[in-house]
Structure formats: C-alpha cells, structure tokens
Amino acid sequence: MHLDKRMAYWRANLNLVGVCLAIWFVCSFGFGVLFVDQMNHIRVGGFQLGFWFAQQGSIYIFVALIFFYAWRMNRIDRKFDVHED
C-alpha cells in the first residue's frame, strides 16, 4: 500500500515534469531553432514569429512554466499528503 502510494506520487511528478519539458522543448528548440524558418513566414506586428520565439517568446513561456509547475506540484503534494507544515 505505502509502496504503491510512493510510486503513484513519483509517477504523478514525472508526468507533470514530462508535460512541462515537452512545452519547454517545443517553444525554444522547436519554434525558435528547428522550425524557425517556417515560423518566420508568420508575422505578428513588426516581428517574424520564429525570431520572436527565439528572442522573447520562449523566455516568457519559461517563466510561466516554472510557476505552473510549482503550483501543480503543491497540489500533488497535498493530494498525497506529503506537503510541508
């Protein structure tokens, strides 16, 4: 029972980390590097979108991702009753 719970907690953590890292990869290495030429055909204001992701967008998404992770992780901690205090 307790081993299962431990495994379930760890799996929930790994799932969350996996989702976040997928977004992390797509927004930086995907949009900003690997597919930057295709993305650059799209224009937003004075920016080509691929260039914007490489120099601005990826950074905004990184910040949002960490806060999202911290928030979701706190919920998982509480769900499994391993939160501090």
Report CA 51 to chain centroid distance, whole Å.
20
Residues sharing a CB contact under 8 Å with residue 6, sequence separation 6 or more, in sequence order: none
Residue 51 lies near another protein (rule: CB under 8 A): yes
Residue 26 lies near another protein (rule: CB under 8 A): no
Residue 1 lies near another protein (rule: CB under 8 A): yes
Is the Cα torsion angle 30, 31, 32, 33 positive or negative in sign?
positive
Among 22, 26, 36, 75, binds another protein (CB under 8 A): 36
Q: How far apart are CA 49 and CA 29, in angstroms?
A: 14
Here the tokens at position 78 are: 């509480």
Residue 41 lies near another protein (rule: CB under 8 A): no
User: What are the residues binding another protein (CB under 8 A)?
Assistant: 1-2, 5-6, 9-10, 13, 17, 20-21, 24, 28-29, 32-34, 36-37, 40, 44-48, 51-52, 54-56, 58-60, 62-63, 65-67, 69-70, 73-74, 77, 80-85
